[in-house]
Amino acid sequence: MRKDLQVASQPAFQRAQFELAAHIRNPQSNPAPEGIEDRRLEIYRSLFFNNIEAFIANGFPILKSITDPERWTAMVRDFVHRHQSHSPYFLDIGAEFLHYLESERITQPQDPVFMLQLAHYEWVELALDVSVIDFPEVRKEGDLLENQPVISPLAWVMSYHYPVHLIGPGFQPTEASADTTQIVIYRDRQMQVGFMEINQTTYRLLQILDQNRLTGRAALVQLAAELGYSNPAAILEFGADLLSQLRSKDIICGIY
């Protein structure tokens, strides 16, 4: 059944609620309900939009900083009008806004080519900041080569076609990089969110550790074999320092 027919068949008070909600969400396309003073409606319009805009701005500060204010406002209004959120929680607005950018928004000529990947990077930072996931029960100290290093569930390894961690008002690439940018975005035990740019070798080592129950030494030996090193001694020395650095940031949160 068409939505307008569904609304028409509802009781009067529900129709009034629908009309008010539609007007608050998109006052440009939906006339104000009759009998309500516009001064009162403006309070609802402003509170509704400003609250949502504030949450999005806090979650995507770089995207906002590089977007013309009028276009930013128009994009948030389009999100409010177009997107049907699936969560009632304010903390989930970031994920809802990312879904809107990825699947619902009509691309505009002024949109930067990196917009979706920048938005995803900023959302990951937000998601880790508010995550209720905790570190597993592991030993924090011990030999990383002779024991099994444990990758933190609060360390997310991402690969982007743009150096998203460098984008800002002073740097906005116009085309994708020839090589992908690998970044570990993580939250440490002090509840601080950070990032670490890594190369392909470190990216692969983290994959090996995450996918297999291996000691640090065994993971580095496997990595050396994949890279074609006949003598893994050099990569073991380099790998021991790297594993220690990853543990200092809680990317490796301990050992089994």
Domain ranges of the chain: 3-111, 149-255
* pLDDT confidence band for 79 (50 / 70 / 90): very high
Contacts of 47 (CB under 8 A, 6+ apart): none
User: Quick one: average pLDDT of 168-195?
Assistant: 95
Average pLDDT, the chain: 87
- pLDDT for residue 53 is more than 70: yes
CB atoms within 10 A of CB 51: 12
Q: pTM of this prediction? A: 0.84
Q: Are the CB atoms for 185 and 197 separated by under 8 Å? A: no
Task: Tell me which of 34-43, 150-159, 162-171 is least confident.
Answer: 34-43
Tell which CATH classification among 3.40.250.10, 3.40.50.620, 3.30.420.10, 3.90.930.50 matches the domain 149-255: 3.90.930.50
The percent of residues in the chain predicted with pLDDT above 90, rounded, is: 61
Q: Are the CB atoms for 251 and 151 separated by under 8 Å? A: yes
User: Quick one: average pLDDT of 44-50?
Assistant: 77
